[in-house]
Amino acid sequence: MTSFLKSYLKYWHTIRFLRIIQIYSRIKFSLRKSNVHLDLRNSLNELPDNWVKPAQRIQKMFSQDSFNFLNQTHKIKLMDWNNSNLSKLWLYNLHYFDDMNAFESEKRKDWHVGIVDRWIFENPPFNGIGWEPYPVSLRIVNWIKWTLAGNVIKDDWVHSLEVQARFLSKNIENHLLGNHIFSNAKALIFAGLFLKGDESRIWYSKGLKLIQKELHEQVLDDGGNFELSTMYHLIFIEDLLDIINIHNAYGKNLPQSIEDKINPMLRWLKLMCHPDGEISFFNDAAFSFAPSVVEIESYAQRLLSIFTDIELKDNSYYWLESSGYIRVNSNNVVALLDCGQIGPDYLPGHAHADTLSFELSLFSERFIVNSGTSLYESGEERQKQRSTASHSTVVIDGQNSSEVWAGFRVARRARIITCDCKKDSDNILVKASHDGYHRIAGRPTHSRSWEFFKNRITIVDTINGGKSHEIDSYLHLHPKVVLINIKENIVNLEISGRKIKIDYQGKGTLKIKESSYHIEFGMSIKSICLHYRIIGNLPIEITTSISWQ
């Protein structure tokens, strides 16, 4: 197949899943953003005094012009807001103004006042990264939250907020949809309640209609966010709580359907966390990008008196069927299994090729992991982190189970064919299969079963189909895991003083490979990976036993 034809098919299998509104809006958006007039037509609404303290993020501002985003610290000089030497994601974060509502933000009030004044002066309307709809949306919300916390807002800030909201209302991100359009809608609601006037009422109405429409689609029946990222799930809950908070503060009635989503989403979040209380890494996910799990739960308690103490029974499984994730609690084990689709067909931008991967905690310590996410820029490292080989699952012929490419693109994607869970008095059995490799000669199907016993987990990978293939099984280990020794196909490991043995049965060879673990954006931690390879004619079966005393 020629390179031209391969490229054509990749684009075709990417574009064919998009919605018409995305294609139309992308063309429109690329031609010209809709600029708006700068008149002052809305006034400041009477500020409420019953605003509830929202979730807080970690500190990001460390002097009047110094910021740390993505674990990189830079100073912002005069007119430096679009510095091409800095990554776009770093600059996006700069324009969000999250630090105005971060931990101990009141101690940095003078810095915040100064940097907002600078932003207004140095970012004239409609020019630069700061005037893209997504940073506009987050900045509107952060400036308003800062004011509702009891700080005095200046007149020129109010004017700037009005222009930003007016601009946003004409530049909704219909080409992206998902979390972007939800953030657009949230910002219109905030501006519509914070300001008073004919325009602000239109913004509020538009934002609320979008929220109601997207809420039905973006929250699955099991409570999961449809992008199937634990990190974006946290952000989505925060958005809903903020929307409830500002409605309560201004005495505005809110559709009950919005509040009804909170409990199921908190339950989903709890089930997708490890015993350390933090999120698992499926699809794009990392710590510190969203508020922590504890912050979100505390916010729900303050605002709605909701407590998320879920009794997770031992020797039980919890199947989030709409999302496709399965949690298994068995003796000293917490396992999180990905037996679902990679995300919505028209919006797979945050998807990884991680079908039938899993994460495992033993004795309350993370043991087997997925590699996480440290950057969004297109390139070799982004491609690597989204690849099947960076997840604890099986690779066939060096291909990804879903064709991830560029920074946020997916062409042909894996589909779950079968999935089943069973439990008896002694063990739990989960089986699933997918068709992600059907595009390869011989149409291989990967099936995986996990069986949980008292002191052992048995994983059986079966690859059916035709022809000869290279089969690679990867188990990525948490950096805390210590390698004691390896002998043929048996590995002895240790974590927190506990001995664990992993035994591979098959006709393959086992090697220890260097890997990396990305718990935050801009962070890479050295780790190791168990790599077991078989080359031969299908069918091929690999049995992996994980045992401990």
Q: What is the pLDDT of residues 218-245, one digit of tens each?
A: 999 999 999 999 999 999 999 999 999 9
Indicate the pLDDT class of residue 1, thresholds 50, 70 and 90.
Answer: low
pLDDT at residue 381 is higher than 90? yes
pLDDT at 84: 95
Structure pTM? 0.96
State the average pLDDT over residues 41-62. Answer: 96
Domains and CATH numbers, the chain: 57-218 (1.50.10.100), 316-548 (2.70.98.70)
State the average pLDDT over residues 155-178. Answer: 95
pLDDT at 144: 98
DSSP letter string, 460-512: EEEEESSSEEEEEEEEEEPTT-EEEEEETTEEEEEETTEEEEEEEESS-EEEE
How many CA atoms does the CB half-sphere of 284 hold within 13 Å?
Answer: 27
Please list, in sequence order, all residues whose beta carbon lies within 8 angstroms of the beta carbon of residue 151, skipping any fewer than 6 positions away.
109
Contact criterion met (CB below 8 Å) for 357 and 351: no
Could you count the other beta carbons within 10 Å of the beta carbon of residue 6?
A: 10
Q: What is the pLDDT of residues 360-374, one digit of tens each?
A: 999 999 999 999 999
> Which pair of tokens denotes residue 192?
């519509």
Contact criterion met (CB below 8 Å) for 269 and 293: yes
Q: What is the pLDDT of residues 276-305, one digit of tens each?
A: 999 999 999 999 999 999 999 999 999 999
pLDDT at 63: 98
Angle between helices 155-169 and 133-148 (to 10 degrees): 140
Contact criterion met (CB below 8 Å) for 259 and 244: yes
pLDDT at residue 32 is higher than 70? no
pLDDT at 317: 96
Give the DSSP letter of residue 61: B
pLDDT at residue 538 is higher than 90? yes
pLDDT at 3: 75
Average pLDDT, rounded, for the chain: 95
pLDDT at residue 31 is higher than 80? no
Helix, strand, or coil here: 534?
strand
pLDDT at 549: 85
Q: What is the 3-state secondary structure (H, E, C) of 350-383?
A: CCCCCCCCEEEEECCEEEEECCECCCCCCCHHHH
